[in-house]
Amino acid sequence: MKNIAKKIITAIIRAEASAVLRRYKPKIVAVIGSVGKTSTKDAVYAVFSREFFVRKSAKSFNSDIGIPLTILGCDNAWGNPVGWIKNIFAGLFLILKKQKYPEWLILEIGVDRPGDMKEAAKWIRPDAIIVTRFADVPVHVEYFSSPEAVIAEKSLLIKSLKKDGVLVLNHDDEKVLALKDKWHGKIKTYGFGERSDILASHVSVLYGEDDLERKFPDGIIFRLNSGDVSIPVRIHGTLGKNMTYSAAATATLGMSAGINLVKISEGLSEIELPPGRMRLLPGIKKSIIIDDSYNASPVAMESALETLKEVKAYGKKIAVLGDMLELGKYSTEEHKKVGALSASFCDVLVTVGVRARGIADGALDAKMDENNIYQFDSAHEAGKYLETLLGDGDVVLIKGSQGSGANSIRMERAVEEVMAEPERKTELLVRQDGEWKTR
């Protein structure tokens, strides 16, 4: 019965959203890819909202119900029938009585199962599509015949791109760049390669100083280049190359929309960082947390670990890593690869979940001292142990898949145990809504 009700509500909300798009005709930016979608969406919003009336997907509203809700400007009512009725009436009111509506919609569009993007492409016609990065082994691959099938599904949206639209591609990713053959209109590229339309360069970690003049990571600094113009960008509170890619993608689209690089840099410096995505948080005992607890895939895990490797720490480097879900036949091998990478530089490795035991196995195979490897079944248990382990100057990366039910990982629970300001958890951590608390 619940599934039937969900299908009916989804159909109604989607029909209303489609009608709203026809009535108000906003420009639509669709962000697709395996990693970096949310950060890119937020970066585009940070820049475009200074110039236009803009709405973005809330949190990670990228599903068959989340996208229509964004278009209607409604919240997810979860299991509240009254809330869904209110959403339906809000959609009807928006259709029947013309109101002020955003000029731009920034939509993050994800794919969980075969057919998801095909359905989205039936009613969403973007003015621009940003493609972030495709993973060799993408999340959700267990529901597809191959990694290539996941890419094929995601790229279906290109067929719905408006004739005068722009396709923005990551020049550094061969699988992404190959999509240029699927579009015969305007194409712009970004990346670190010299042939990119927007070139990112000179990336480094920003450091602050504590009262003892010891340096701690505080953000990133890099340059965005277009022709003879080169502009510095500083973003505090986050780390990682992925944010640089998000900024470069935003600059590429922004310049296509007539926004200059100076204004783009100013907007990026004010980006509202999403919780659980390479976010820097103060930890207990003067430690630093890299909170990347929102979700995990092999490519994202590798990127996060490379960032931890790069960061200077005057204490220990600790990786707390949970299961990576929905990898199917690739699961064992990919977890072991993560373990081997961790062993190459981490002082301590902590794993969470049954599948993550493969991370520990990979680290042991790579000759990491078994006395520096700890395994737990839950994020809460791992967090409690971290309380005893963390010390002055330690930098700890916390990352894992979200999961639900028996597969629930929820690595933010480990973050909560060791963050310096637990009273701010609803503001700083991911999945703090009431509905998530019951899962």
141-179 pLDDT, tens digit each: 999 999 999 999 999 999 999 999 999 999 999 999 999
Using the structure block, give the residue that is written with the tokens 């057919």: 115
φ/ψ of residue 141, rounded to 5: -60, -25
Name the packing angle between helices 357-365 and 331-343 (round to 10°): 50
C-alpha torsion 267→305→31→271, nearest 10:
-20
Measured distance CA(433)–CA(431) in Å, rounded: 6
In DSSP terms, 207 is beta-bridged to 217
Distances (CA, A) of 226 to 223, 234, 240, 245, 255: 10, 17, 22, 15, 10
Q: What's the pLDDT score for residue 77?
A: 78
Do the Cβ atoms of 291 and 396 come closer than 8 Å? no
Average pLDDT score over the chain: 94
171 vs 178: CA distance, rounded Å: 9
Query: Count H helices, E strands: the chain?
Result: 16, 15
Look at residues 288, 293, 282 and name the one whose alpha carbon lies nearest to residue 399.
293
For the cut 90, the answer to whether the pLDDT of residue 121 exceeds it is yes
Percent of the chain with pLDDT over 90: 87
Reported as type and span, the H/E element at residue 223 is strand 215-226
With cut-offs at 50, 70 and 90, classify the pLDDT of residue 405: low
Residues 330 and 352: their CA atoms lie apart, in Å, by: 19
Please state the φ and ψ torsions of residue 63, each to the nearest 5 degrees.
Answer: -105, -175
pLDDT band at 1; cut points 50, 70, 90: very low
User: For residues 334 and 313, is the Cβ–Cβ distance under 8 A?
Assistant: no
Query: Rounded to the nearest 5°, which phi and psi values hold at 398?
Result: -125, 120
**pLDDT tens for each residue of 255-312:** 999 999 999 999 999 999 999 999 999 999 999 999 999 999 999 999 999 999 999 9
pLDDT at 75: 87
Helix (H, G, I), strand (E, B) or coil at 23: helix
> Full-prediction pTM beyond 0.85?
yes
Flag whether pLDDT at 129 surpasses 70.
yes
13: three-class secondary structure by DSSP: helix
Provide the pLDDT confidence category of residue 76 given band limits of 50, 70 and 90: confident
**Span 351-378, mean pLDDT?**
98
Decide if 252 contacts 199 (C-beta within 8 A): no
Give the per-residue pLDDT at 214.
82
pLDDT of residue 438: 58
* pLDDT > 80? residue 416: yes
DSSP, residue by residue, 312-372: --SS-EEEEEE---S-GGGHHHHHHHHHHHHHTT-SEEEEESSTTHHHHHHHHHTT--GGG
Poorest-confidence range of 70-79, 115-124, 376-385, 394-403? 70-79
Ranges of beta strands (E only) in 25-184 are 27-32, 54-56, 104-108, 128-131, 166-170
- Domains of the chain, earliest start first: 2-268 (3.40.1190.10), 279-437 (3.90.190.20)
**What is the per-residue pLDDT for 62?**
63
DSSP 126-164: -SEEEE----SS-TTGGGSSSHHHHHHHHGGGGGGS-TT
pLDDT score recorded for residue 279 = 97
- In this predicted structure, the answer to whether residue 233 has a pLDDT above a threshold of 90 is yes
pLDDT of residue 65: 87
How far is it, in rounded angstroms, from Cα 304 to Cα 374? 19
Confidence of residue 437 (pLDDT cuts 50, 70, 90): low
If pLDDT is split at 50, 70 and 90, which confidence band does 434 have? low
What is the average per-residue pLDDT within 230-249? 97
Of 193, 176, 169, 157, the residue nearest 67 (C-alpha): 157
User: So what's the pLDDT on residue 373?
Assistant: 99
Write the CA distances from 220 to 179, 246, 307, 414, integer angstroms: 30, 13, 11, 25
Q: Token pair for residue 215?
A: 């340096």
Express each pLDDT in 199-221 by its tens digit: 999 999 999 988 777 889 999 99
- Looking at residue 416, its amino acid is E
